[in-house]
Amino acid sequence: MKLSLSRKLFLAVLSTALFVALAMFVAGGWSFGRGFIGYINELTEQRMVTVLPRFSEAYRRHGSWDFLRDNRDDWVGMIHPQGGQIQDRTSWDVPVSDLTGAVFRISLLDMQQHKVMGFIEMGSDAVRMPIVVDRKTVGWLAMAPFQSVTEVGGERLLHNQLLSSLVVAALSLLLAALIAGWAARRLLAPVRQVAAATHRLAAGDYAERVSVSNDDEVGQLARDFNQLAHTLERNEQLRREFMADISHELRTPLAVLRGELEALEDGVRRFDAASLHSLQQEVGQLNQLVSDLYELSMADVGALTYRKQPLDLVELLHESLSGALERCQEQGLAFELQLPMTTMPVLADAARLRQLLGNILENSLRYTDARGRLRIRLQEQNGHIVLDWLDSAPGVAEEDLPRLFERFFRSEASRGRASGGAGLGLAICRSIAEAHGGTLDAHSSPLGGLWLQLSLPREAH
């Protein structure tokens, strides 16, 4: 039978409490028995010390132990704390009961340690105390120590002690069972909730969430689950959007190509240089899209090759933007290039950086309105070389700025804008920037358009 986590916890707590209760029960019984026997033996030794002067005085009076041989009455009177022939009341102040039978475990031995009077034979473990008269040992008081509670006569006391321990153990087990049941229900309820939500998430329900009511480890588990579910839901949404975007981007040039070819086949259009040029444009658009997708997929798995070497970013900008002024003038844009007079060394792949700069330039030329402005400036900040690329209106909504680097994302509402690309250029640019240990971020431009900021670590001289 498969046990749930709550039952395992309940059984573990209950088993631990049962083991502790049994251990306390056994240890308590053993400790009580040993302590009680030691206490009785100690009292018996105190009795012997108390009556020892009586025996010394009796021997001095009679000169031998013959008066006690087979004389039980005098013997009991001698060893009983409230009897005896010696009326020294100061020696009777030990109020010890004889219900335990301690009196009957004391014996009198002569100088040769032969028994004179007593009820028990003395063994090697007997406690012996000398009886001294005029600095001469004339005999011994010996006591056979108790070895068990039954010898003492404390069976009833031991029974009551064990019964009390058993009641305490039973109450402890009941309390442990209640605590274990509460813990199994209360503490594991969030875990069961997360487990059930995990099953639904594995089944494809990415909208599943669990409530977070605690700040402990279980609460952290719930928060991590919600974050995981959010990530999976977002990835699934991106996957669907990605497939839809690819389908759309491929369908448009393919539809144009098909229409052009059917028109040529039906004789609606003549096969001349103009029609051939139109077909080449559509094929080029398809080729660019496939190339961008391939480059992004290679960047995702870290398979893009970069041949980095020290270079001057100022010189690279001059080379890459040599034709930018003419193209901006063709579209009616004012072009400003602010470069420092000193070198700006970076460790980079020149071809990849040219690709990045070209994509950003195409983005500005494509989306900036006529009679606008394009400003490019390069400066050093905190050990990094920062390239600011600012253009004028139209701008990008503040909430769309973080999404500009997503694949196929374009901030304009219509996908049919003639100048619009596939929405992969900025994603490729960020990939190149991160491969160089830098960053590429988007902000609102003070000129009214988009502000792209590229930051690269400065190469040490």
Please determine, looking at this structure, whether the domain spanning 204-303 carries the CATH number 2.60.120.10: no
Give residue 456's pLDDT. 94
Q: Please state the rounded mean pLDDT for residues 97-113.
A: 71
Cα(249)–Cα(258) distance, integer angstroms? 15
pLDDT score of 88 more than 50: no
**Average pLDDT for residues 318-342, to the nearest whole number?**
88
Distances (CA, A) of 411 to 216, 244, 388: 42, 17, 20
171 or 35, which is more confident?
A: 171
Question: Cα–Cα distances in Å, from 226 out to 188, 202, 203, 343?
Answer: 18, 13, 16, 49
When pLDDT is averaged across residues 285-291 and rounded to a whole number, the result is 74
Please indicate whether residue 76 or residue 385 has the higher confidence score (pLDDT).
385
pLDDT exceeds cutoff 80 at 378:
yes
pLDDT at 201 exceeding the cut of 50: yes
| Class of CATH domain 309-457 | alpha beta
Q: What is the mean pLDDT of residues 168-193?
A: 76
pLDDT at 373: 92
pLDDT of residue 35: 67
* pLDDT given for residue 418 in this prediction: 43
Of 86-100, 106-120, 176-190, 440-454, the poorest mean pLDDT is in 86-100
Residue-wise pLDDT tens digits, 354-372: 889 988 988 888 888 888 9
In sequence order, the 6+-apart residues with CB closer than 8 A to the CB of 295 are 304, 428, 431
**For the chain, which residues make up each domain, given as ranges?**
5-155, 204-303, 309-457
The model carries a pTM of 0.49
Structure confidence at residue 87 as a pLDDT band (50, 70, 90): very low
The pLDDT of residue 1 is above 60? no
The whole-number pLDDT of residue 118 equals 79
31: tokens are 């400790």
pLDDT attached to residue 148: 60
Omega before 394 cis (within 30°)?
yes
Q: Which of 173-187, 231-245, 276-290, 321-335 has the highest mean pLDDT?
A: 321-335
pLDDT over 90, % of the chain: 13
DSSP secondary structure of 317-382: HHHHTTTHHHHHHHTT-EEEEE--SS--EEEE-HHHHHHHHHHHHHHHHHHSPTT-EEEEEEEEET
Residues near 63 by Cβ (< 8 Å), separated by ≥ 6?
A: none
Q: For residues 407 and 410, give the distance between their C-alpha atoms in angstroms, rounded to a whole number.
A: 9
Quick check: 162 pLDDT over 70?
Answer: no
Check residue 152 and give its pLDDT: 45
* Amino acid identity, position 274: A
Mean pLDDT of 427-434: 87
- Backbone torsions φ then ψ of 10, nearest 5 degrees: -60, -50
Q: What is the mean pLDDT of residues 211-228?
A: 81
125-142 pLDDT per residue, tens:
788 889 888 888 888 888
